[in-house]
Structure 1
């Protein structure tokens, strides 16, 4: 496994975070593709969760799509997160992809998963205190996304173990 990020980057006035993960999976390619898609769908259908001091209200608009091609499956997503209550006026834009393909070079790890995500926090912050609060929102959303990724991995592994 190889993981980078999330790393803070800047393009002009836009600050964003990126992460990249490459994972070798010791399971069959087609089973891995199916388990990953099932896990993604299940994780994003669950009810809210608590993080930090207690529940934080955010509204998430999520779209996912799966493309099945010869020799690879690609899953893409786009999420718009709107802060509520203490995070009112803050929102984020996230997009990412996961490519699953057979690993021809290593028969003991027959599948490769490559995942990339970019998260762009946005707010109407103009004061230093507001920017600190916006950073707190950004870290909440990034941490929440990482938690979702970890839960998807756990679910995928459980599904793969059930199939073996």
Structure 2
């Protein structure tokens, strides 16, 4: 850079000096020029007459000053052009020289260069890159854990399906399998949808087992039974009623009710299902004040609709997961709901329910009898709220039908 500056200084000194030599301007008239004359003795040879120049000689003497004048004009134009070019070069070189000096002394630096030349800028860049790397490593670890967890879910789900195909009773899952499955909403919902299909195929068998044919209208028959295969006690509720509404209106009413619009706390809809029209999957949280604290239950619900001939069946699969002091107290519920027109369709529609609820207790759950009673009492309160909502909806349907 010092060499460049020295060169620019020399150019500036050269341009500051007398840049062009003085030019002697030739004479413009023939009178000012020296005229070649013949010797007197030669003139005397023409019989004493005055000598007169030949016309061609005069023409030659006239053209010569003209050519010189043209050369002078071209020369002036060239000199003027070169002088202008040199002045322009002087300005450019002066400007570049000043820019180099200003840049070296930091007087004329743009903002981005200032930032790049500052140590704090590079420190900030290094810190930002380190944070980005740490975030990427954290995200990678999370994804790796998720992949491993998903692999375990798939493995256990395949085992569950395989076991279910080889046995006629599938009301409970193993302790370890539930512990892994319930941490993933997606796999729980997929498992419930498959269970809904499985239990729908057994609806006639279940209704025969619970005595639905002999069940009296408007009565609720509740019993506690023990599965002969799993030795797990479960609660069974059977109910049959006649609704004074047309079959189509009742089916529409019941299916809309599966959306449970009155449950909105921490509500999430799972829409990644194959048959969106006939499947609903969601989760929401139930809360209750208990003493000076609040307890909660996370509830996942899957409703699936089957319509064959003059009969619609809605399968409900519900998994209630205790939280906080209720942690480890989970409940699995399966509900069969059959809707069909009465033999005398003018009477309305027959609706038949069968619900089976069984606990899913983990070996790791450490609960007292009082905590278990509070948990069961909260589930009973939730069931009563659902019944009241159903009754209110039926009353509104009756008013709208009149």
TM class by shorter chain equals 0.7 to 0.9
Q: Which among 380, 383, 389 is matched to residue 145 of structure 1?
A: 383
Q: Is the 8 A contact 1:98 1:115 kept in 2?
A: yes
Aligned partners of 1:31 and 1:160 also within 8 Å: no
Q: Which residue of 1 aligns with 2:395?
A: 157
Provide the residue aligned with 1:30 in structure 2. 248
**Equivalent-residue separation in structure 2 for 1:57 and 1:39 (angstroms):** 23
Assess if the C-alpha contact under 8 Å between 1:40 and 1:152 holds in 2.
no
Q: Structure 1 length as normaliser, TM-score? A: 0.82
**Whole-angstrom distance in 2 between the partners of 1:136 and 1:125:** 19
Shift of 1:82: 0.6
Q: Please state which structure has a larger fraction of its residues in strand.
A: 1
Counterpart Cα distance in 1 of 2:262 and 2:359: 20
Query: Which residue in the other structure is 1:21 paired with?
Result: 239
Offset at 1:114?
Answer: 0.3
Aligned residue number for residue 11 of structure 1: 227
Secondary structure, counterpart of 1:37 in structure 2: helix
Contact 1:90 1:122 in 2 (8 A): yes
Distance 1:51 1:45 in 2: 14
Q: Equivalents in 2 of 1:99, 1:112: separation in Å?
A: 8
Structure number with bigger Rg: 2
**Judging changes above 3 Å, is the alpha-carbon distance between structure 1 residues 8 and 139 closer, same or farther for their aligned structure 2 residues?**
farther
Matched, 1:58 2:297: yes
Aligned to 1:122: 360
Q: Structure 1, residues 77-101: CA drift from partner, whole Å, max 9, x if none? A: 1011110012011101001111110
Distance 1:10 1:82 in 2: 22
- Is this contact kept in 1: 2:246–2:348, CA < 8 A? yes
Q: 1:91 to 1:151 in 2, by over 3 A?
A: same
Please state whether the residue corresponding to 2:259 is helix, strand or coil. helix
Query: C-alpha distance in 2, partners of 1:117/1:110?
Result: 23
Q: Deviations over 1:41-72 (max 9, x none)?
A: 13475335555747531111111111122111
Q: Match of 1:85?
A: 324
Identify, as 1 or 2, the structure richer in helix: 2
Deviates more, 1:110-119 or 1:139-148: 139-148
- RMSD of aligned Cα (Å): 2.8
Once the two structures are superposed, residues 19-50 of structure 1 have per-residue CA deviations (whole angstroms, 9 ceiling, x without a partner) of 01101111111101111111221347533555
The answer to whether the 8 Å contact 1:104/1:110 transfers is: no
Structure 2's unaligned 5+ residue stretches are: 1-217, 266-284
Structure 1 gaps of 5+ residues are none
Rounded to whole Å, the distance in 2 between the matches of 1:131 and 1:123 is: 13
Q: In structure 1, what is the Cα distance between the partners aligned to 2:254 and 2:369?
A: 36
TM-score, L = length of structure 2 = 0.36
